Amino acid sequence: MELFSFDIQADDPQTAARAATFTTAHGPVETPLFMPVGTRATVKGVQSDRLHELGAQVVLSNTYHLFLRPGSELIADAGGLHAFMNWDRAILTDSGGFQIFSLADTLRVTDNDITFRSIVDGSWHTWTPEDNMRIQQQLGADIAMQLDQCAPYPATREVVAQAVERSIAWAHRCRAAHSRTDQALFGIVQGGVHLDLRLRSVEALAALDFVGYGIGGYSVGESHEEMFQTLPAVAAALPHRRPRYLMGVGNPTTLVRAIAAGVDLFDCVLPTRTARMGTAFSSTGRMNLRNAQYARDFGPLDAACSCDTCRNYSRAYLRHLVTTKEMLGAILLSQHNLHYLLDLTRRARAAILAGEYAAFVDDWMASPAADDY
């Protein structure tokens, strides 16, 4: 297959869902797909051979964090991010724009650049869109994201509109500065909860003919219902034959619904972050393993799950690990939660290929798992 081709195998007859294969320099990526997050070049607590076993096809990492530590030049000298983190399948790097606007304690944004302070050592840094492209090309992921500005929520329409226009301007500059042929560059749609701003963003980015499109600025505090008031129209407005990536969304029910709206890719820290707090996704809804009700429950975490954690360890043991703050608790629950989302997108893909995604959504929404919001 041609590099970065997005080959759609099936368009679901009753929903906007599609099953496709995106070709990268590190293998094919079958969508819809959840992508585990490895912010600092490691999916927290999970070794790369386990990620292989779990069926992970793309791992995310973050330009902001890697730029600060250990530095993009060091990673380039290591042979790029794949060699550095021992991951031989596809990698996507987020540009770091989101982190700068959400984590950095002090910043200055102009049309030309962003100035921000390191959360590590307080040092000051300035990025133009061109700087960001240089850094992401040093990191060497298969998919790079444009530098964008994500407006907070809530924000006035004016603030959101300015973020949209600035992101469009930076999209042009990123597109012009990006030259690495083994790396795809995705534009990022902004516009908050305003459909007209979203569509303005889509139109401007589509004119640049990106390899794929991130849908940013959701899951920043608004309700799920607010998101779904505009998301289907945004997805539908994007080029049909390009992958669509809903950034930062990993709630199981939101995934199921967003796939029906035509989204192909997802990422979220939720599975590993909640695991470290002792929480597991399950077919009967979310479970907090700290709960005393599991103390003498010798059954599997989720009887409907085929992952290593569910096949080999009991709820009572997992609760013991979580309450005693043993690392293995976070490890086993992280693997389970990642399996849960990867399995969910695999099953969604199978349903789309069978032309039965509408029934899949109905079944999901009627199940106890749909309570997981």
> Segment near a second copy (CB under 8 A), from 80-88, 162-170, 187-195, 258-266?
80-88
Per-residue binding letters, 82-111, with a second copy (x by CB under 8 A):
--xxx-------------------------
Q: Six-digit token pair at 25?
A: 């320099």
Stretch of 55-63, 175-183, 311-319, 363-371 contacting a second copy, by CB under 8 A? 311-319
Strand partners of residue 94: 62
Based on the shown chain and the rule CB under 8 A, indicate whether residue 138 belongs to the binding site for a second copy.
no
Query: Which listed range, 144-152, 169-177, 315-323, 342-350, lies at the site for a second copy (CB under 8 A)?
Result: 315-323
Work out which of 308, 343, 356, 363 binds a second copy, going by CB under 8 A.
308
Which one of residues 44, 89, 166, 198 is an interface residue with a second copy (CB under 8 A)?
44
Asked if 320 interacts with a second copy (CB under 8 A), we say: yes
Which amino acid would we find at residue 97? Answer: G
- Of 27-35, 72-80, 180-188, 216-224: span binding a second copy (CB under 8 A): 72-80
Q: How far is the CB of 35 from a second copy (least distance, A)?
A: 18
Q: Does 141 help bind a second copy (rule: CB under 8 A)?
A: no
Residue in 321, 344, 361, 369 binding a second copy, rule: CB under 8 A? 321
* Residue 146 to residue 313: CA distance in whole angstroms: 42
- In the list 10, 78, 269, 353, the residue contacting a second copy (rule: CB under 8 A) is 78
Site string for a second copy, 236-265 (x = CB under 8 A): ------------------------------
Number of residues that bind a second copy (CB under 8 A): 38
**Residue 107: partners with Cβ closer than 8 Å, 6 or more residues away:** 100, 101, 114, 115, 116, 117
Q: Which of 9, 156, 223, 312 binds a second copy (CB under 8 A)?
A: 312
Q: Which residue has the tokens 């990642």?
A: 338
Is 234 within 8 Å of 351 (Cβ atoms)? no
304 binds a second copy (CB under 8 A): no
Nearest Cα to Cα of residue 59 among 103, 86, 89, 21: 89
At 125, give phi and psi (nearest 5°): -140, 150
Interface pick for a second copy out of 317, 357, 360, 364 (rule CB under 8 A): 317
Nearest distance from residue 277's CB to a second copy, in Å? Answer: 14
Using rule CB under 8 A, residue 156 touches a second copy: no
Question: Exposed, middle or buried, 144 (CB in 10 Å: 0-12/13-18/19+)?
Answer: buried
Q: How far is Cα 74 from Cα 84, in angstroms, rounded to an integer?
A: 9
- Non-local CB neighbours of 216 within 8 Å, separated by 6+ positions: 98, 148, 150, 188, 189, 190, 247, 248
Rounded Cα distance, 124 and 121, in Å: 9
CB of 89 to a second copy, least distance (A): 14
- Contact call for residues 361 and 257 (beta carbons, < 8 A): yes
- Closest approach, Cβ 121 to a second copy, in A, equals 12
- What are the b/e assignments for 313-323, b being 16+ CB within 10 Å? bbbebbbbbbb
**Interaction of residue 362 with a second copy, rule CB under 8 A:** no
**Residues known to be catalytic:** 94, 267
Q: Which stretch binds a second copy (CB under 8 A): 54-62, 149-157, 175-183, 293-301?
A: 293-301
1, 297, 317, 319, 350 from 293: Cα distances, Å: 52, 7, 13, 10, 35
Q: Which stretch binds a second copy (CB under 8 A): 41-49, 165-173, 214-222, 225-233?
A: 41-49
Site membership for a second copy, residue 328 (CB under 8 A): yes
Distance between terminal CA atoms of the chain? 38
| 74 is an interface residue for a second copy by CB under 8 A | yes
Report the sign of the C-alpha dihedral through residues 93, 95, 96, 98, in that order. Answer: negative
- Binding interface with a second copy (CB under 8 A): 40-42, 44-49, 69-70, 74, 77-79, 84-86, 295-296, 298, 308, 312-314, 316-317, 319-321, 323-324, 326-328, 330-332
